[in-house]
A and B are shown apart, each in its own frame.
Chain A
Amino acid sequence: AARIAAAPSPYSTEAAPNTLEEITSYNNFYEFGWDKGDPKAHAGALTTDPWSVEIGGLVEKPGSYDLADVLKTAAPEERIYRFRCVEAWAMVIPWIGFPLAALLNRVGVQPGAKYVAFETLLRPSEMPGQRGPGIDWPYVEGLRLDEAMHPLTILASGLYGEELPKQNGAPLRLVVPWKYGFKSIKSLVKITLTEREPRTTWNDLQPREYGFYANVNPAVDHPRWSQASERRIGAGLFAARQPTLPFNGYGDQVASLYAGMDLRANY
């Protein structure tokens, strides 16, 4: 894959990133199977070129945007972010991407828009998990407009200086570092600005366990496990669990988005 020249970003964490091997062999990408090793094993067959993203709903310039065109929206930056899975494990990942806000500003958000809905590719012929039962495909996610416009929210197309590996959501994925990983939808094909809160896949499946907001929050447990601490992947067999930080450590930047909200009710 071609090297991507990316500028460093003040939003990057100082923490040491996980290895490429760790980041690319331990994935939840149910379109390619149930096991964390399945995406690496089965994503190779995915066609990511040609690729386009359909942008619609309450925008000024709706249409189908070619991937190369989308990537021209803003200069790529390296964003080294903490990543916290709802399953209570964590990594640090050097993404390459640009703010989603830049794309939304480019297509023009209409005044009535309050939410952004996202959709993953639906292609059962190349995504074996979509041929099986369990999840109503395609995978869908959503953000409130202010969350989507936040400078930490990026569209990533690279990792470790190169194009995004397929198992990590190539060719284009969302990354929202203060939310549980399932919000950061992969292999993005559709962005729709809406007035109403869009439905989201995990909330549809288990509304008691996965809320729309899904902000990392050590004080609100998953019904089946505690979110107070996490295991850092790569830390070794006998490493201690590390405490989970509110908003995954991004509270200074994003806590104000939720001022006055009951985060226990809006989990």
Chain B
Amino acid sequence: MIARLNATLRRLPPGAVYLLGLLPLAWIVWLTLSGGIGVDPVKGIEHRLGKVGLWFLAGGLTITPLLRLTRLNLIRYRRAIGLLAFFYIALHLVAWVWLDMGLLWRQAASDLVKRPYLVLGISAFALLIPLALTSNDASVRRLRAGWRRLHRLVYPAVLLGVAHYLWQMKVISPEGWTWAAAVAALLALRFPGLIRPSRG
């Protein structure tokens, strides 16, 4: 069953994943134009972009455990998924500065340094910048083993991202706790010996 799935996936080029990854954006644009985004389109757009970014970040973290636990091989889509996560998180930031803060740079900047949850969010984004910049074959070749070490920055980035998401809530919702548990589980899988004695 998994072997058949892997064989089928061989016919899906990573380029298609980029295209599929733009569907959430198309959906948000459609909701905005049709009025379905709700009576507060600013928050609707901003929160949806952040949530999609989180889905892609967490999605990227499921690829290795999936391979290890089920032999389903999605490795060649990981770069697309990671870059899509970066793309949506960048748009989330743009939505905050432009739509939410209305380009009130001074208020945005003072909020940014004073508010822990914003600091967490922007730190997560900052950690993702070098990862996005080195998401190309040339960088993988040039950095060798350093590339893998560098890309472990995605672990703190996703932790910061989830903390940012939970911290902005007035009271942490059940959905928030589900995210925290899911990301904690995905990160726990990284530590060898915790699930099964393998390395990586």
Residue ranges of A at the interface with B (Cβ–Cβ < 8 Å): 21-22, 25-26, 30, 34, 36-37, 87, 89, 132-135, 202, 205-206, 221, 223-226, 228-229, 231, 233-234, 237-241
Determine if B94 is an interface residue (Cβ-Cβ < 8 Å).
Answer: no
Task: Decide if the interface of chain B is mainly helix, strand, loop or mixed.
Answer: helix
Not counting A26-B40, A135-B171, A229-B104, a sample of 8 additional A-B residue pairs whose C-beta atoms are within 8 angstroms of each other reads A30-B171, A36-B38, A87-B170, A224-B167, A225-B115, A228-B107, A231-B42, A241-B104
CB of B107 within 8 A of CB of A25, answer no
With a cutoff of 8 Å between Cβ atoms, the chain B residues found around residue A206 in the complex are 170
Within the assembled complex, what's the spacing in Å between the Cα atoms of A122 and B7? 56
* Known contacts A226-B111, A239-B102, A241-B101, A233 near B39 by CB under 8 Å: yes
Within the assembled complex, what's the spacing in Å between the Cα atoms of A34 and B167? 15
Give the contacting residue for B99; candidates A133, A202, A221, A237; CB below 8 A.
A237
* Residue among B39, B104, B171 with the highest chain A CB neighbour number at 10 A: B39
* Known contacts A225-B111, A226-B111, A25 near B39 by CB under 8 Å: yes
With a cutoff of 8 Å between Cβ atoms, the chain B residues found around residue A233 in the complex are 39-40
With a cutoff of 8 Å between Cβ atoms, the chain B residues found around residue A241 in the complex are 101-102, 104, 107
CB of B99 within 8 A of CB of A34, answer no
Determine if B168 is an interface residue (Cβ-Cβ < 8 Å).
Answer: yes
CB of A132 within 8 A of CB of B40, answer no
With a cutoff of 8 Å between Cβ atoms, the chain A residues found around residue B175 in the complex are 34
With a cutoff of 8 Å between Cβ atoms, the chain B residues found around residue A34 in the complex are 171, 173-175
Determine if B114 is an interface residue (Cβ-Cβ < 8 Å).
Answer: yes
